[in-house]
Amino acid sequence: MEKKTLGCGVAEHDTDCLCDVKISGEPWEVKVTIPYDFYAGEEICEMFGLGVPWTGADLATFLEKVGEVRSYFNRRGQIHRIPVVDPDVQLPRHGNAKFTHEQLADLKDWIRAGGKPTELKNRVFEEFGIRIHKSYVVKTRLRMQERGEF
């Protein structure tokens, strides 16, 4: 049996790169508290008189307005998901997420401490504002074990 190489297989990518990770399986249920878990959600509800009890039309209007607000601020560079770092520093790239070296080190520490995938997925979002899938945590743990880091 041939041993798989570390990383994604692209020579230019860091050995921690997980761009080859494919998410498969059944869709998962997304649990959000509307309007609190949305950017400017409370303000949008107040401006347009939306809220409990929610109707289908109200929910559609709310989601449309959230998209418009995000697009407006994204065009102006006012919403930042990725921390600003020195442009000379190479960030490890993991799928669509970019971690600083310190953030990746924190994630690896949390994995070593026995954090569960769903718990760590949520913690990464809370701490860094980066969304990852729980399979990312599983793959990172496996790669750490392959390298003897775990």
**pLDDT per residue as tens digits for the range 23-62:** 667 777 767 788 888 878 888 888 888 887 888 888 888 8
Residue 58, domain member (yes or no):
yes
Both 149 and 99 in a single domain?
Answer: yes
Looking at residue 114, what is its pLDDT? 92
Ranking 2-6, 63-67, 90-94 by mean pLDDT, the lowest is: 90-94
**pLDDT at residue 2 is higher than 70:** no
Both 45 and 19 in a single domain?
Answer: no
Within 8 A by CB and 6+ apart from 94, the residues are: 16, 17, 18, 19, 104, 132, 136
If you count them, how many residues does the chain have? 150
CA–CA distance, 118 with 135 (Å, rounded to integer): 9
Residue predicted with more confidence, 76 or 63: 63
Within 8 A by CB and 6+ apart from 25, the residues are: none
Both 55 and 86 in a single domain?
Answer: no
Both 11 and 68 in a single domain?
Answer: no
State which residues form the domain around 92: 1-29+81-150
Q: What is the mean pLDDT of residues 72-88?
A: 54
Both 66 and 140 in a single domain?
Answer: no
